[in-house]
Structure 1
Amino acid sequence: MGRPHGQTGHRGVVPRSGDRVVRARVSASPGSAGGRTRTARGFEDSSVTKTPAIIDIAADEWVAACTASAARGCDVVDWLTAVDTAESLFVVVHLVDPDSSRSEMLRCELNSERPEIESITSWFPGADWHERETHEMFGIEFLGRSQTNALLMRAGDGSSPMRRTAALDARVRTPWPGQESTTGRRRQKLPPGVRAEWTRDE
């Protein structure tokens, strides 16, 4: 999955101290004629910076916001992925203007129990691979897609390995030495990333 340099996996776009987060509402539909009508309040600052603000978009305005970015010149999908913070699940896309250093980063919070959002592949064909991988890794349904076959995982596997609720099977099965103790006794220590309930017998 494409992602910016220096950022990895599902922790890549969690806001850090100093990050600018802009909440915007899109005032025009994706089909509006003319670039000037496809505008979103709150985007102006991010369109002129090399490190774009994270712009929060409502799920029902996702396509409109992405096409509004394209109308402003950011019409190439650099990467699209998801972020699972345990408390929230987001889908994030980074759109760039190939003729300049401008870019815009859009983020949408989803229902973590039933995550779904409209696909943008009809407007951005380059998002196809990213949406398919994000679907498999995070279980997000991209509505309106014409192609839904498996990309990296076995068909019908049903797991979403990048979700924080997914058990790390290899670590659960691997013997772990435990924790050092000054009393001469050792108590079991779980491998990093493994929850206690994953190791309990049914």
Structure 2
Amino acid sequence: MTESLLSKFDELKNIKISKERNKIIIEAEPDDIVKTCRIITNKLGIHHLVTITGVDEGEKICIIYHFWSEKNFINVLTKIEKTSPRISSITSIVPGAIFYEAEIHDMLGVFFEGNPMMNSHLLLPDTYPLDMPPPLRKEANIEEIRRRMNLE
């Protein structure tokens, strides 16, 4: 299964594919995320993006795209530098990704290039202090955020 799946991704560099029960895990380079998601939708015919999650891992931010088909979950993982948290949007392939990307932008400060919602907030109030780290970053101090936003 993994070899035949890997052949669909021949054009990509440094891709890793593994399988656990009914879950396929694809590790892709950030520059290949749009191509990877396009292969999943076009070559594999999987169009259901369940969600996108972001995790602050310290020096990097891990972004996981969760696709679902009748037989498998497909998780596409990529890691971006926390000091320059930018990655291409997949909204041209999966329009519904617009809100998931906007949520990660608000909560972790990742800028999804090509997503039209990057200049507004989805979850955070417009009064969120711009000099504070996004609330789900490890360096965010929730008490300081509450104090500065008068939420105590």
Task: Tell whether the structures are fold-level matches, with TM greater than 0.5.
Answer: yes
Does the C-alpha gap of structure 1 residues 152 and 141 become closer, same or farther in structure 2, counting only changes over 3 Å? same
Pairing partner for 2:121 from 147, 150, 161: 150
Pairing partner for 2:143 from 169, 173, 187: 169
CA RMSD of aligned residues (A): 3.0
- Shift of the alpha carbon at 1:139? 0.2
Aligned partners of 1:134 and 1:140 also within 8 Å? yes
Distance (Å, rounded) in 1 between the aligned partners of 2:97 and 2:35: 15
Q: Which amino acid aligns with 2:111?
A: E
Choose between structure 1 and 2: higher strand proportion: 2
Identity of aligned residues (%): 24
5 Å matches for 1:120-159?
120-148=90-118, 149-155=120-126, 157=128, 158=130, 159=133
Give the alignment's TM-score, normalised by structure 1: 0.58
Distance (Å, rounded) in 1 between the aligned partners of 2:52 and 2:146: 30
The answer to whether structure 1 residue 69 and structure 2 residue 36 are counterparts is: no
Does the C-alpha gap of structure 1 residues 42 and 111 become closer, same or farther in structure 2, counting only changes over 3 Å? closer
Equivalence for 1:50 = 22
Pairing partner for 1:119 from 73, 89, 94: 89
Query: Unmatched 5+ residue regions in structure 1?
Result: 1-22, 30-39, 174-202
Distance (Å, rounded) in 1 between the aligned partners of 2:117 and 2:145: 33
Q: Secondary structure at the match of 2:23?
A: coil
Does the C-alpha gap of structure 1 residues 69 and 89 become closer, same or farther in structure 2, counting only changes over 3 Å? same
- Shift of the alpha carbon at 1:171? 9.8
Aligned partners of 1:24 and 1:42 also within 8 Å? no
Give the alignment's TM-score, normalised by structure 2: 0.76
Distance (Å, rounded) in 1 between the aligned partners of 2:140 and 2:15: 37
Pairing partner for 2:68 from 91, 96, 99: 96
